[in-house]
Copies of this chain bind each other. A is one copy, B any other.
Amino acid sequence: MKKLFVIKIGGNVIDDAQSLDAFLQRVAQIDTPVILVHGGGKIATRIGDQLGIESKYIDGRRITDDGTIDLVTMVYGGLINKKIVAALQGYNCNALGITGADGNLVPAVKRPVKSIDYGWVGDVQQTALKAAQWAALLEAGFVPVLAPLTHDGKGHMLNTNADTMASAVSVCLGALYNVRLVYCFEKKGILRDIGQEDSVISHLDKENYNSLKAAGKLFAGILPKLDNAFAAIDAGVEEVLIGHADDLLQNTGEQTTGTLITA
């Protein structure tokens, strides 16, 4: 099977114009088919403040009300997405900016109201993703750039977690491609010693993950991310890589500097 990189970047890269530009230059250098998934960033909060749209929280959870969904649709789906597209196009990378609503490429449902009403938030319907539609874009030579938004099938946009979307697209395309899902963050990888930046665990498989976890040798905060990584692998993703945004070219190559996660 052909190789495909699904690359996720978050706010820490997006918020810094220089880091973002350097990162996108790297993305443009990758030969293999790529899908880039981006998160939000502080710019949404800044523009929201100017527009008088407050961030609302219930029990520490962000709520997406009417004003907020319009705000993130503008900022994530418009401003950030198209800035990335224009930059990549400037580096001769044929970026095509979309949200999960476009082409219904990431089907979702509005999160059901239980104890908390999250508002206009989408939960991805993994089994409803259609690999053929994604493959049509990739085969046409486009580099999809996916903003963290979906729709509810009833005419409304939904705010959606970018990590989850990256994972869902990777799982879906695992049927057609040999997928490496690359999460870019601000550390070189999963660290053996949280105080030592160079103590990267270069490889994790289920066996050594479970033994490290059982021995309490992993930082608790990273466990959900790793559980999600192994869930993606169980669902058909070949490899998950967690590494630094600066190391993208190494981490899309053979000599990875981040943490490579395999079955």
Does A257 sit at the interface, judged by CB under 8 A?
A: no
Does A140 sit at the interface, judged by CB under 8 A?
A: yes
B73, A154: Cβ atoms under 8 Å?
no
**Which A52-82 residues have a C-beta within 8 angstroms of B?**
52, 70, 73-79, 81-82
A82-B140 CB under 8 A given contacts A90-B154, A104-B89:
no
Q: Which residues of B contact A141 (CB under 8 A)?
A: 133
Does A221 sit at the interface, judged by CB under 8 A?
A: no
Total count of chain A residues near the partner, CB < 8 A? 47
A82-B157 CB under 8 A given contacts A94-B104, A102-B96:
yes
Does A153 sit at the interface, judged by CB under 8 A?
A: yes
A97, B98: Cβ atoms under 8 Å?
yes
With both chains docked as a complex, state the minimum distance between the C-beta of A70 and any C-beta of chain B, in angstroms.
6
Alpha-carbon distance between A52 and B47 when the two chains are bound, in angstroms: 11
With both chains docked as a complex, state the minimum distance between the C-beta of A48 and any C-beta of chain B, in angstroms.
11
**Which A64-120 residues have a C-beta within 8 angstroms of B?**
70, 73-79, 81-83, 85-87, 89-91, 94-99, 101-104
Q: Which residues of B contact A91 (CB under 8 A)?
A: 155
With both chains docked as a complex, state the minimum distance between the C-beta of A82 and any C-beta of chain B, in angstroms.
5
Task: Add 11 more A-B contacts to A89-B151, A136-B140 (CB < 8 A).
Answer: A74-B78, A74-B79, A75-B78, A77-B79, A78-B82, A82-B157, A86-B101, A86-B151, A90-B152, A90-B155, A95-B102
Q: What are 30 A-B interface contacts by the 8 Å CB criterion?
A: A21-B155, A47-B74, A50-B51, A50-B52, A51-B51, A70-B79, A73-B78, A73-B82, A74-B74, A74-B78, A76-B78, A77-B81, A78-B79, A82-B99, A82-B157, A86-B152, A89-B101, A89-B104, A89-B155, A90-B151, A90-B153, A90-B154, A95-B103, A96-B98, A96-B103, A98-B98, A98-B102, A103-B140, A136-B136, A136-B140
Binding site for B on A (CB under 8 A): 21, 47, 50-52, 70, 73-79, 81-83, 85-87, 89-91, 94-99, 101-104, 133, 136-137, 139-142, 149, 151-157
